[in-house]
Amino acid sequence: EAGVAQSPRYKIIEKRQSVAFWCNPISGHATLYWYQQILGQGPKLLIQFQNNGVVDDSQLPKDRFSAERLKGVDSTLKIQPAKLEDSAVYLCASSREALYNEQFFGPGTRLTVL
Amino acid sequence: DAKTTQPNSMESNEEEPVHLPCNHSTISGTDYIHWYRQLPSQGPEYVIHGLTSNVNNRMASLAIAEDRKSSTLILHRATLRDAAVYYCILRVGTSYGKLTFGQGTILTVHP
């Protein structure tokens, strides 16, 4: 089966600009996750969707980050405006169900904010 | 979230077994023990998980202490492709699948 797709793979922007990342999960997977991974650290969950509803967004900086999964399939994560500390790899993952044990990760988008 | 403690780094030789330890002294009865690994420039990859009993799959084995306060991921014959960061994660049974990653263990495999 095809894996989790993410685009773009790399993005460089100036601070205060906006950026959007796209994720297409594995077909049939109900749960979608966005993680932020800062260099040298483990991934941190930003938001979790179950179908098109938000299950957990407790660590999402809502003043600048937003995410949507309108039709319960692909998802977009947006940062507006970006700060220097947002430089990181943004990983998307999916699983069949929220309590299903295995999460499948995409390759990530590496964001550099100058 | 219950925390795990792992060594920052470990080294192994190719074709030898590797035992990666993880301490989780505050684990609760409904917490699952998960292991993921992350190869350079890739997203994390699921390795194995367990609750109370030891588990085996094609990638590795997971040995869980009787009191569940520690566990060990066993790679039976390390290859150069096993060089990665290995994360030991407690998934809270009621957390709707949430994984909280720590720093992990950087495994270096020497030819």
B28 in Cβ contact with B2 (< 8 Å): yes
Backbone angles phi, psi at A86, to 5 degrees: -85, -5
Distance of alpha carbon A34 from alpha carbon A13, whole angstroms: 20
Q: What is the pLDDT of residue A46?
A: 97
Determine what percent of chain B is predicted with pLDDT higher than 70.
95
Q: SS3 for B81?
A: helix
Q: Per the CB < 8 Å rule, is A45 touching B98?
A: yes
Q: Per the CB < 8 Å rule, is A100 touching B44?
A: no
Residue A49: closest CA among chain B residues belongs to which residue? B96
Q: What is the pLDDT of residue A71?
A: 86
Q: SS3 for A59?
A: coil
Q: Per the CB < 8 Å rule, is A42 touching B42?
A: no
Structure tokens given for A12: 């460089």
Residue B92 has pLDDT above 90, yes or no: no
Residues of chain A with pLDDT under 50: none
> Dihedral through CA B39, CA B21, CA B26, CA B61, nearest 10?
80
Distance of alpha carbon A35 from alpha carbon B92, whole angstroms: 18
Each residue's pLDDT tens digit, A79-109: 999 999 999 999 999 998 766 668 999 999 9
Distance of alpha carbon B32 from alpha carbon B39, whole angstroms: 23
Neighbours of A100 (CB within 10 A): 13
* B18 vs A100, residue with greater confidence: B18
Of A56, A91, A101, the CB nearest to B43: A91
Residue B49: closest CA among chain A residues belongs to which residue? A101
Structure tokens given for A76: 């977009």
Using pLDDT thresholds of 50, 70 and 90, give the confidence band for residue B94. Answer: low
- Give the mean pLDDT of B27-43: 92
Mutate to test the interface with B, among A99, A104, A109 (most CBs of B within 10 A): A99
Structure tokens given for B76: 């039976």
Each residue's pLDDT tens digit, B60-90: 999 999 999 999 999 999 999 999 999 999 9
CA B84 to chain centre: 11
Distance of alpha carbon B34 from alpha carbon B80, whole angstroms: 23
Using pLDDT thresholds of 50, 70 and 90, give the confidence band for residue B17. Answer: very high
Residues of chain B with Cβ-Cβ distance to A107 below 8 Å are: 41-43
Q: What is the pLDDT of residue A98?
A: 67
Q: SS3 for A84?
A: helix
Of A43, A97, A99, the CB nearest to B101: A43
Q: Per the CB < 8 Å rule, is A44 touching B96?
A: no
* A42 vs B92, residue with greater confidence: A42
Distance of alpha carbon B86 from alpha carbon A112, whole angstroms: 25
B58 to chain A, closest Cα gap in Å: 15
Amino acid at B69: K
Using pLDDT thresholds of 50, 70 and 90, give the confidence band for residue B10. Answer: very high
Mutate to test the interface with A, among B32, B48, B85, B100 (most CBs of A within 10 A): B100
